[in-house]
Amino acid sequence: MKNRQYHFLLAPDSFKDSLSAPEICDAMARGIRRTCPDARITSVPLSDGGEGFTRALTAAGGECRRFKVMGPLGESVHAHYGLIDKNRKTGVVEMAAASGLHLIPVSRRNPLNTTTFGTGELIRKVLNHDVDQLIIGIGGSATHDLGCGLAQALGVRFYDSSGEISRPICGGLLETVRAVEIQGLNIRLKAVEIMTASDVKNPLLGPQGAAYTYARQKGADDQIIETLEKGSGHIIRLIEEATGKSVRDVPGAGAAGGLGAGIMAFLGSAITPGIELILDRIGFDELLNGVDYILTGEGKTDAQTIQGKTVWGVIQRAKKQSVPVIVLSGRVESGARILYNHGVQIMDSICPKRVTEEDALKNTRSDMIRKVAQVVRKLVLA
């Protein structure tokens, strides 16, 4: 082993249905210590808008608070929000904390039944802190209600043929809405600058839209997908008429079951690449000074990674400063080979070959520790 102290920067996303980004950082650090016990290690858990978004921002200077809100199926859940910057005048809301897919057992997942009402409650709570700026991360949703539940929690009213709809709007109610009234929208929103973070560029409707692209992973079958597509086409017309904004074809409108469209229409927010927002906020470029290697990863690295996901954002920033990147993910598919053209030195799956998905998820921590130890041994002995 060379007689020097190596500096490793750990910058992974969470591994879906397995470990959070901080837990992945911990496993990576343990693997490094096995081979390089004196190494300097800097951990920067990341997110591109989904799970871990709030904690990634508050870790750089801020605080997390917990609040009881409505979960995606109508039950109560404890969700966190963040307050950042020195004067705590910037609020952070992570929709996955209140309306995320991870909150629902697989057997109960059905986007006809889920709502973003709880995310609206989180926003309302943050507004009570008299913030000047609000950052919303919209990855990892269990919902497909175009943000109508969120809007309800913030004062928007929806009517069907019998009158005002009192229950939270969910995907299955979209076609029943006959009118949208925005006059009651929380007035404090007008004084707040709102930014929305997402890695999704899909429009709302059509073959590349929210229903056909993302609803199946939320528990939808073919019939449910058709129902959601039809309901989305119906409700977006009413939303656009009520707000005077045409948003259905804006890139990102299809994010989080159409929440992207809803936030643009109801809240007037633009969609920003989530990982770029995070990296800028935490001063990632400065953290690269003196780093020998960056270790990053995600649940699955494939051709979609370059569309703006966390790993891609890390690679792009590292390339500018010629810092080599090691990508270690749960799965690495052939389409990911393009990353070798952008500064990736090593890329591999942490899972042994011919392992079941169940075992892979169960053993993520130990597999990561083992793989990192192997990779670091090759690097420091090279």
pLDDT tens-digit series, residues 146-170: 999 999 999 999 999 999 999 999 9
Position 189, amino acid: L
Burial of 92 per CB tally in 10 Å (0-12, 13-18, 19+): buried
At 1, is the pLDDT very low, low, confident or very high (cuts 50, 70, 90)? very low
Instruction: For residue 28, give both structure tokens.
Output: 């990576």
For residue 299, which phi and psi values (nearest 5 degrees)? -60, -45
Q: What is the mean pLDDT of residues 7-27?
A: 93
Q: What is the mean pLDDT of residues 329-358?
A: 88
The CB density around residue 334, as the number of other CB atoms within 10 Å, is 8
Q: Assess whether pLDDT exceeds 90 at residue 307.
A: no
- Distance between CA atoms of 30 and 28, rounded to whole angstroms? 5
Q: In what order do the strands lie in the sheet with 325-329?
A: 40-43, 7-10, 293-296, 325-329, 344-349
- Distance between CA atoms of 304 and 284, rounded to whole angstroms? 23
Q: What is the mean pLDDT of residues 65-93?
A: 95
- The whole-chain average pLDDT of the chain stands at 94
Q: Assess whether pLDDT exceeds 90 at residue 353.
A: no
Q: Assess whether pLDDT exceeds 50 at residue 320.
A: yes
Q: What is the mean pLDDT of residues 205-225?
A: 97
Q: What is the mean pLDDT of residues 262-285?
A: 93
Give the pLDDT of residue 360: 75
Give the pLDDT of residue 345: 94
pLDDT > 90: what percent of the chain? 83
* Domain span(s) for CATH 3.90.1510.10 in the chain: 53-275
If one looks up domain 7-44+284-381 in CATH, what number appears? 3.40.50.10350
Give the pLDDT of residue 376: 95
**361 contact partners, CB below 8 Å, separation of at least 6:** 17, 18, 330
Position 9, amino acid: L
At 382, is the pLDDT very low, low, confident or very high (cuts 50, 70, 90)? low
At 60, is the pLDDT very low, low, confident or very high (cuts 50, 70, 90)? confident
Q: Assess whether pLDDT exceeds 70 at residue 3.
A: no
Q: Are 39 and 32 in contact (CB under 8 A)?
A: yes
Q: What is the mean pLDDT of residues 364-373?
A: 95
CATH 3.30.70.100 given to domain 53-275: no
- Distance between CA atoms of 79 and 88, rounded to whole angstroms? 19
pTM for this model (two decimals): 0.89
Q: What is the mean pLDDT of residues 99-126?
A: 97
Give the pLDDT of residue 2: 53
Q: What is the mean pLDDT of residues 299-316?
A: 90
